[in-house]
Structure 1
Amino acid sequence: MEDEEKRPLLDLQPSGSCKDDDDDGKNINGGGWRACLLILGTELSDCLAFAGIGRNLVNYLTGVLGESNVAAARDVSAWTGTCFLTPLLGAFMADSYLGRRTTIVVFLSIYTMGMITLTLSASFATPRRASSDGNANTGDGVLRATVYLGLYLVALGVGGIKPCASPMGADQFDDAAPERASFFNWYYFCVNVGSLLAATVLVWVQDRAGWWLGFGIPAAVMAVALGAFLFGTRLCGLRTSQTPPGSPLTRLCQVVVAAVRKRCVELPGDCSLLHQLPDGDHRIIEHTDQFVFLDKAAVIVDDASPAASPWMLCTVTQVEEVKMLLRLSTVWPTVVFFFAVTAQMPSTFVEQGKAMDTRVGPVDVPPATLSTFEVVSILLCVPAYDAVLMPLARRVTGNRRGLSQLQRLGVGLALSALAMAYSALLEASRRAATAPTSIMWQAPSYMVLGAAEVFTSVGLLEFFYDQAPDAMKSLCTAVSLVAVAAGSYLNSAIVAVVAWATSPEKGGGGGWIPDDLNQGRLDCFFWLMAGLSCVNLAAFVFSSMKYSYKDATN
């Protein structure tokens, strides 16, 4: 097999009729939506299992392991954070050594083992109560070790699937195919279907039928997904890339080192004098004028030759790969704040709901269940975007995607600011009302944020995949996923600063977000988030105006 470095990531052929090499070196035809169904099914299974654990994990740790509420909340946060960080490991392995298909198979196997381990722990566990120090009873060491072994095997398995599934699905279509944008829409649709099934069916099974069945069902689903992926890839003609020759991070470091070592060298007036791959090489990336300092890595000095050390002389293509990452880094921080806004749904939105009238007719609605409106909004907006908005926008803009990638991100950022402004107005109205305000007035906030996710969350996956260097698509997808964790951490920091700054006594309680919201000003906090969202949107627009697309058709 020739190295992946020596051929394009995708051979440009009509969608649904791709050609690639399998592990035996034979060509297989396929790809397109037929192969994507296998990938979407794998991702749906992943989200069903992940959400099936995360939605009710606090109750499992307190009711089965006997942990205190504080310890359980701490352990759930640590596990969730790990699940958002392990994609960096899985993406690095995929882009550097294993390739995406092999990485999914390996990590899907680990994921399945983790689910089986959790199921076994639940099958012989009995309810416990926390000991006097707030931790699990000392006699439960084996059970505790089994539970956390299963949890962190799952966290590791997530790390290999999340950054590889969406790039592999996009690989099934040619660069110019509009179906690629549709794939990312339906990918996110499946993510939310899995989450909805977990929040309704699996949580009910765990609470009513027992934890062993609540974990056993997703364990069986993951085992089926593993078998289907193993044996279905050849049947559906999955387009795959060959195993990468080594770490792309080394290539990036070579550019930086070479540029620094030749920092005193003057750049030639003609960029054609820079060291580049031979003419006709399909890997060639044309020179751009941004970040010109890095171009020094490709300057041929008197004592250098094309055979010089790669730590001294790099190609223009290598330099442009680094520039692509730098351009992406200007967009990433603005998206992080978007996820700080969406982090209000499981936090301040729930607190606001507790202060409202939770009776809807004869039913007492738990405030946390209002998040269902977010999921419903996503499930409605994805088909509407794909079938209605995209074709209409395509007629107006002439862009094959309808909206450009950055325009799509910007719409989501604007909607998030609108949701914060509505929540602020609702809170002010609630505090001024003489009668309790119905919790159903929160539904528009959830639905607008759900629509915002269809634009920004889905758009982010597509943007980072499309604009990443070919050898780093999984890694860049993982970086886009880390934005979710970064947004949660940023929200925690903002809340802590607000609580400190508005507290009557520094470090004390009260302020804008006290335990009794009737004594606070949650509306001011929402206005703050709305204002910061507008500032963030302005920063995004500014960086977007200077952004140079890898593909001019975007």
Structure 2
Amino acid sequence: MEAVEVESKGSHGGDGDRRTSRNDRRSSWGCTLLLVNNCLQNTSYFGLSTNLVNYFQVELHAGSKSAANSVTNWMGTSSITPLAAALLADSFLGRYWTITLFLVISVAGYGLVTASASAALQSAVFYAGLYLVALGGALSPVMVSFGADQFGDDESERGKQSSFFNWFYFSMNVGSLVGGTVLVWVQTAHGWRLGYGIPALLSVLAVALFMAGTSGYRRNQPPGGFPATRIAQVVVAAVRKWDVEAPDDAAVLHECASDDGVSTIQGSRRLVHTDQFRFLDKAAVETEGDRRVRPASPWRLCTVTQVEELKCVLRLLPVWACGIIFAAAYTQMSTTFILQGDTLDPRLGSFRVPAAVLSVFDTLSIMIWVPLYDCVIVPLVRRLTGNSRGFTPLARMGIGFVVLTITMLLAGVLEVARRRVLARHGTYIDADGAEYVPMSIFWQVPQYVVVGAAEVFTFIGQLEFFYEQAPDTMRSVCSGLPSVAFALGNYASSAIVAVVVRATARGGRSGWIPDDINDGHLDYFFWLLAVLCVGNFGAYLVVARWYNYKKTVD
């Protein structure tokens, strides 16, 4: 019997190992399809958005101001809809069905945009398709959360999960590079029908690839219901019990007495009690009134996990807020960097390089830094820290903050050098009447390359951090928080510029950022941004030190 029993155990172990290996291969195949899908989606999106203002002007005969407003309104909508998709995924549909639904919507949108090239109701059809794309293409936070769901919670799986975030961002940038260059060239050289038809075909392919991986996806995260309701219940219950004393012993709080590790919230693991925001613990104190009414109303008595969900969100907010100043400095790549580049010598042989094109070096930098980080930096740091991911997400984001500060310093140094060349040699006017400082525009390349490094550390670190530290049933929504910080960062940048212009252009002075920056001091503006970055990093260090990582009852 003993021999038979040993043989049986060995056979069972072998079957388990084979099943685990088979599941790992299926999960790996599913993640690969998700990365390709993400690349296709971004190729389609940037193939549509990059040259969109020209379509409004050429095909819809809109004026410059109207075309610009139409594009910014559409892009604003595209920034809001990801949170709607994330909320739908976390609350009701789940991530798989949300992705499926929104991919189909995007196919309809790209189809209408393509049809508008020859439709009689061109404007109406185009706008309908455009806003369907804004809705259907709002999948980044849901897609990244669904991809991260394919990995387990043990330490070895976390290393693979961290790698997935790197390659997700990589695939996004490959798509933006192809869409913003190749597809824009197709639109210019071969017309809008083909230029928009290719994104439509790619969106169909994205649906097909996503569906093809269905059998390989892990779909073990069910929707947990509307999170705002649970948060409101904690606040209301805590306020109702404002005169109740929060106990020092967390074991007496509602749910803590249970040792089964199961949360009453569908799709959520139980969370370990933390001492921060102790006022909210009152919501989980069971009073005599709660004991008399069974079951107790969740508006009077909440579980510890429900309370800790709100605490998780509150802890995330300061980290999220530090990303706003980061985004405000980062967005200079599409504003003041271009203003600076417009004054430099754009010639490369017989070609002229527009200043805006240099942003391609940011994308190329990302495409170099991601494999370098994943394949070289992480293994080296892992040996030093013993952490399977190399850096913790908080440390990784902090490094990105420092790197972006270096970018602002580089831009300021280049501006000082540019002004010196301007003072010594003046400006040069070529045969076409273009005026520029006799200094190559390619001196800007280093600052674009360093921006790419900052993105790899901070933006990808944000993807990983907000997914990992969010409550289980709010991961898609919290994964969308960095995009909100990015949008607010753009508004903050506009506000900083407005304040600087008003403060420095008094008394007839040209100020730091005049219409002709040769008369201004753009270097001072870059120094200001560097100081803001340093101050923001200091605040981030305080927040990171205060931060209490989420723990589950396992």
Whether the aligned pair in 1 keeps the contact of 2:271 and 2:550 (CA below 8 Å) is: no
Question: Is residue 33 of structure 1 aligned with residue 28 of structure 2?
Answer: yes
Q: Counterpart of 2:85?
A: 90
Aligned with 1:179 (options 160, 174, 177)? 160
SS at match of 1:288: coil
Bigger Cα displacement from structure 2, 294-303 vs 357-366: 357-366
Q: Distance in 2 between matches of 1:269 and 1:348?
A: 54
After superposition, where does 1:61-460 map in structure 2 within 5 Å? Answer: 61-124=56-119, 142-159=121-138, 161-175=139-153, 176=155, 177=157, 178-234=159-215, 237-241=216-220, 243-276=222-255, 278-282=258-262, 283-305=269-291, 307-433=295-421, 434-435=424-425, 436-460=438-462
Bigger Cα displacement from structure 2, 96-105 vs 341-350: 341-350
Q: Distance in 2 between matches of 1:18 and 1:470?
A: 26
Whether the aligned pair in 2 keeps the contact of 1:467 and 1:549 (CA below 8 Å) is: yes
Whether the aligned pair in 2 keeps the contact of 1:115 and 1:154 (CA below 8 Å) is: yes
Whether the aligned pair in 1 keeps the contact of 2:224 and 2:473 (CA below 8 Å) is: no
Q: Distance in 1 between matches of 2:382 and 2:81?
A: 37
User: What is the CA distance between 1:251 and its match in structure 2?
Assistant: 1.1
SS at match of 1:122: coil
Q: Counterpart of 1:3?
A: none
Q: Distance in 1 between matches of 2:512 and 2:528?
A: 11
User: What is the CA distance between 1:307 and its match in structure 2?
Assistant: 2.1
Aligned with 1:497 (options 496, 499, 522)? 499
Q: Distance in 1 between matches of 2:279 and 2:53?
A: 51
Question: Is residue 52 of structure 1 aligned with residue 33 of structure 2?
Answer: no
Q: Residues 293 and 274 (structure 1 numbering): CA distance in 2 closer, same or farther, change over 3 Å?
A: same
Whether the aligned pair in 2 keeps the contact of 1:96 and 1:248 (CA below 8 Å) is: yes
User: What is the CA distance between 1:334 and its match in structure 2?
Assistant: 0.6
Aligned with 1:467 (options 466, 469, 487)? 469
After superposition, where does 1:517-536 map in structure 2 within 5 Å? Answer: 517-536=517-536
Hey, which bits of structure 1, 4+ residues long, moved more than 6 A?
A: 13-16
User: What is the CA distance between 1:520 and its match in structure 2?
Assistant: 0.7
Any stretches of 5+ residues in structure 1 without a counterpart? 1-12, 20-27, 126-141
Q: What RMSD over aligned residues (CA atoms) do the two structures have, in Å?
A: 2.0
Q: Residues 327 and 528 (structure 1 numbering): CA distance in 2 closer, same or farther, change over 3 Å?
A: same
Q: Residues 41 and 15 (structure 1 numbering): CA distance in 2 closer, same or farther, change over 3 Å?
A: farther
User: What is the CA distance between 1:363 and its match in structure 2?
Assistant: 2.3
User: What is the CA distance between 1:124 and its match in structure 2?
Assistant: 4.3
User: What is the CA distance between 1:441 and its match in structure 2?
Assistant: 0.6
Q: Distance in 2 between matches of 1:264 and 1:291?
A: 16
SS at match of 1:279: coil
Whether the aligned pair in 2 keeps the contact of 1:18 and 1:172 (CA below 8 Å) is: no
Q: Distance in 2 between matches of 1:196 and 1:509?
A: 41
SS at match of 1:144: helix
SS at match of 1:303: helix
Q: Counterpart of 1:484?
A: 486
Q: Residues 519 and 155 (structure 1 numbering): CA distance in 2 closer, same or farther, change over 3 Å?
A: same
Q: Residues 247 and 415 (structure 1 numbering): CA distance in 2 closer, same or farther, change over 3 Å?
A: same
Q: Distance in 2 between matches of 1:202 and 1:509?
A: 44
SS at match of 1:269: coil
Q: Distance in 1 between matches of 2:379 and 2:461?
A: 16
Report which of the two structures shows the higher radius of gyration computed on alpha carbons.
2
User: What is the CA distance between 1:510 and its match in structure 2?
Assistant: 4.1
Q: Distance in 2 between matches of 1:381 and 1:256?
A: 44
SS at match of 1:123: coil
| Amino acid in the other structure paired with 1:328 | L
SS at match of 1:307: coil
Whether the aligned pair in 1 keeps the contact of 2:119 and 2:125 (CA below 8 Å) is: no
Whether the aligned pair in 2 keeps the contact of 1:359 and 1:365 (CA below 8 Å) is: yes
| Amino acid in the other structure paired with 1:151 | L
1:268-299 deviation line (CA, Å, top 9, x unaligned): 23111111152112432111110000000001
| Amino acid in the other structure paired with 1:511 | G
Q: Distance in 2 between matches of 1:47 and 1:347?
A: 22
| Amino acid in the other structure paired with 2:220 | S
Whether the aligned pair in 1 keeps the contact of 2:47 and 2:199 (CA below 8 Å) is: yes
SS at match of 2:301: coil
Q: Distance in 1 between matches of 2:308 and 2:94?
A: 23
Bigger Cα displacement from structure 2, 270-279 vs 105-114: 270-279
1:159-201 deviation line (CA, Å, top 9, x unaligned): 2x11211011111111221100000000000000000101211
Whether the aligned pair in 2 keeps the contact of 1:423 and 1:526 (CA below 8 Å) is: yes
User: What is the CA distance between 1:542 and its match in structure 2?
Assistant: 0.8
Whether the aligned pair in 2 keeps the contact of 1:15 and 1:172 (CA below 8 Å) is: no
User: What is the CA distance between 1:15 and its match in structure 2?
Assistant: 12
Give the share of equivalent positions with the same residue, in percent: 48
Bigger Cα displacement from structure 2, 426-435 vs 183-192: 426-435
1:232-253 deviation line (CA, Å, top 9, x unaligned): 312xx11113542521221111
1:21-72 deviation line (CA, Å, top 9, x unaligned): xxxxxxx886532110111122111111111111111111111111111111
User: What is the CA distance between 1:75 and its match in structure 2?
Assistant: 1.3
Q: Residues 492 and 198 (structure 1 numbering): CA distance in 2 closer, same or farther, change over 3 Å?
A: same
Any stretches of 5+ residues in structure 2 without a counterpart? 1-15, 263-268, 426-437
| Amino acid in the other structure paired with 1:540 | Y
SS at match of 1:437: strand
Q: Distance in 1 between matches of 2:306 and 2:61?
A: 54
1:429-488 deviation line (CA, Å, top 9, x unaligned): 101113422111100110000010000011101100000000000010112222221111
Q: Distance in 1 between matches of 2:20 and 2:225?
A: 29
Q: Residues 30 and 377 (structure 1 numbering): CA distance in 2 closer, same or farther, change over 3 Å?
A: same
User: What is the CA distance between 1:123 and its match in structure 2?
Assistant: 3.3
Instruction: Give the TM-score, by structure 2 length.
Output: 0.89
Q: Residues 342 and 322 (structure 1 numbering): CA distance in 2 closer, same or farther, change over 3 Å?
A: same
Q: Distance in 2 between matches of 1:64 and 1:509?
A: 42
Q: Distance in 2 between matches of 1:186 and 1:438?
A: 34
User: What is the CA distance between 1:254 and its match in structure 2?
Assistant: 0.8
Report how many aligned residue pairs link the two structures. Answer: 511
Q: Distance in 1 between matches of 2:26 and 2:313?
A: 28
User: What is the CA distance between 1:14 and its match in structure 2?
Assistant: 9.2
Whether the aligned pair in 1 keeps the contact of 2:399 and 2:457 (CA below 8 Å) is: yes
Q: Distance in 2 between matches of 1:169 and 1:18?
A: 19
Q: Distance in 2 between matches of 1:14 and 1:529?
A: 54
Bigger Cα displacement from structure 2, 180-189 vs 283-292: 283-292
